[in-house]
Structure 1
């Protein structure tokens, strides 16, 4: 599965915890099966975000607005990664992943 496919699948899911679970599982599978190091690190970053969301909110009632905010933020990150991966330049991918990490650390860290 390509990152684009994973991105499209997550985009079409609901904003609930189950969507983040599915994303986490898909990332895990892709890390194991994929041979592209740039994609693997991207999968790992998104896997970490999805896993954290599931661990934090799986047993809690969250508002639909909060869930949508989290999904929107993650989709934004995935969009940036996808665009970088399409260029097929490791340096661009690394720069994008670093920018996402920096943004996340300055954000509300909702996942």
Structure 2
């Protein structure tokens, strides 16, 4: 499955931990299928894993879940755009951008 397909499925799924479990599984598969971009997939894998660990046994508001799904989609789109350029510098910059945006966020995952 291509990264773009994973983004589309995630973006169109109901917000909640089950969606993050599927995202994490997809990232594990992409690490196997596309090891040259493993750092991208591992970063998202970590975000998805943390979200599940933090919220799977907690009730969260629908707004919280939707807001965080949108945030994750924004990270995914940044990385997808860089992956499509097939340029190491673009990908490195995209990874740094996502990490810096995460560091300046509420860190929900």
* Residue 93, structure 1, aligned to residue 91, structure 2: yes
After TM superposition, the score normalised by the length of structure 1 is 0.94
Report the Cα distance in structure 1 between the residues aligned to 2:104 and 2:11, rounded to whole angstroms: 24
Q: CA deviation at 1:16?
A: 0.9
| Aligned pairs for 1:1-80 within 5 A | 1-35=1-35, 37=36, 39-80=37-78
After TM superposition, the score normalised by the length of structure 2 is 0.95
Aligned length, in residue pairs: 109
Unaligned runs of 5+ in 2: none
SS in 2 for 1:101: helix
Indicate the RMSD between aligned Cα atoms, in angstroms. 0.9
Report the Cα distance in structure 2 between the residues aligned to 1:78 and 1:33, rounded to whole angstroms: 18
Q: Could you list the structure 1 runs, at least 4 aligned residues long, displaced by more than 6 angstroms after superposition.
A: none
SS in 2 for 1:78: helix
SS in 1 for 2:59: coil
